Structure 1
């Protein structure tokens, strides 16, 4: 395993770091001020739209997609340090580079499983940043950590599918440019194989019977830049049979294919969030005095910073190993490693952010610093894309199988 950056990665890192310093960090406060003056919290923020154009002009666009026909053609190992950099400003940087969830996962699904018509109608405008999208899987009435529990019905009626069900925490659904949902539901609810009961269909947002009922908050945050999260009701919404992605019964497998890259992308960005936290801790520690000396001279603060550095270096190596394995043996071959980073990274970064908030005192939980919002995002990832306990259960079974 060689984790040294190749020439292309180094070049993209340099450009992205400069873009962050020159454009993204200064835009954080500007975006906050501009959003406060909008009529709706879901309107596009002018400075964000300006940075999208600038990122595209600089070639910092669709870096996440390994498909060279549609994306940058980077390997997971090449993309890892770039996603880490973007993770330092997770609300703005992924959005303005068209590397933000849920669009990234939806574009990967369409690129891998969509037919030519679906790619033309939905993938191309997503790649161009002309529209946004949402992924509708989680439901409020069942334990969605077990995807086989999903109750949304996708029934065939002649040349159409009829979609009926209630979803929530559907990321991206509140964005004014959200034009399409990828909906997971059951086409064969009584099928013998519980992992072949589900299918995925494309449901345009303006389809009769689709109602975006309300925005869902996350620790009080609305996650504006990613298009928010919503409760969505599908009441006998009809779409053409041609809107099926892949084959009937293939929804569970497509979901697993989608979530693998999504999980590692989250972990890459989380490392960037942790690096931002360490930087903020150090700046605070050298600029504040308490009990007669600088915070940087307090032993407990030194321990927090040292432990954070050790933890981040460990996580980064594990994420890079996982990226390398995904590139060399495929997502299935890296299944254990993907689960390991999904367990370890969010909980470790939550701990680092918690210490950073403690160091900032009242400022740490305020809107004047990014720590509280970073904490909310990191803590949510202990649930999103499969809660920790599900990954622990699966990983433990795989380990125990060697001895049974």
Structure 2
């Protein structure tokens, strides 16, 4: 009875996965919680309120105008210790992010001051839509816990990311949110140290200009965020980005390749898993001016200026040769042609355990997008292809594979 005395508000919005909310309510009750259910009108088309009422022993509210004098949405929000919205449709997620309160569930959400879990469930195209991803980012930024979606079978015979997480995962999220012992088995990365690099390094020319690349850091930040959610102790060594540090992650900001080399080589001996998702500049200017450079400073060519470059250290290759490391080493290969062949070569040359290869010339994957598609290769000949999905989903697959090697 690990949730004994905990008052759980269960919000149910109108998706095919509504039937799973019935099992979730029963699971919460078995764990000792008191469960109050609120539903959208759409949800009542899939599951009758009486079914929840029979299970919970409480009236179910599905209309803002029921018992108007009681102001139900305020009352149930105040009485909750934790809230979970499962399933959460695209529509209700967008409402939550925008502060729209035009039904009972969205009105109740705007009144919540307790830990709140949102469990998305929708078709893959809806989950990957930029508007949905932006709304989810807004909610995460406000402290909302996003659990899922899972990857698997969807309505209509489709398959992909968008599946409501299983009951044990949702129950585990509720336990964590209220600080109670969890009932699910911990992930193999729980308590392990994960070192992640992200972003594109900047190589200074002068106080104003620098050389860099198109990396936004989204993939590395997704890896760090998911690793932390799995219970790992995460250090994120990040070149400059426009992203906020994920919750529960120690951020070490750096600028240049030399800065990143120093930070990574210092932290690496304590890591169990190292994921090098940063786009590290291969070269840096041989000279860095103290003052802003004028045209022709380095010797003018026809219509331009000559800048001499020197090679930066290859951090990933160096890690692959160090005998003092006992970490699973994971790299990324951002390619534009002969993608898999170049990635396989990099896997071997740099002595990696795993490498995630992606075509950054694609418009829906790679730099700056919220989605990615990768081929993951292992040193023992392993190959796993991840179709177009969110970067967090790619991160989860990659971390699960790294954890399997950690155990072996």
> What TM-score results when the alignment is normalised by the length of structure 2?
0.24
Higher helix share: 1
Q: Which has the higher contact order (CA 8 A, sep 6+)?
A: 1
Higher strand share: 2
> What TM-score results when the alignment is normalised by the length of structure 1?
0.24
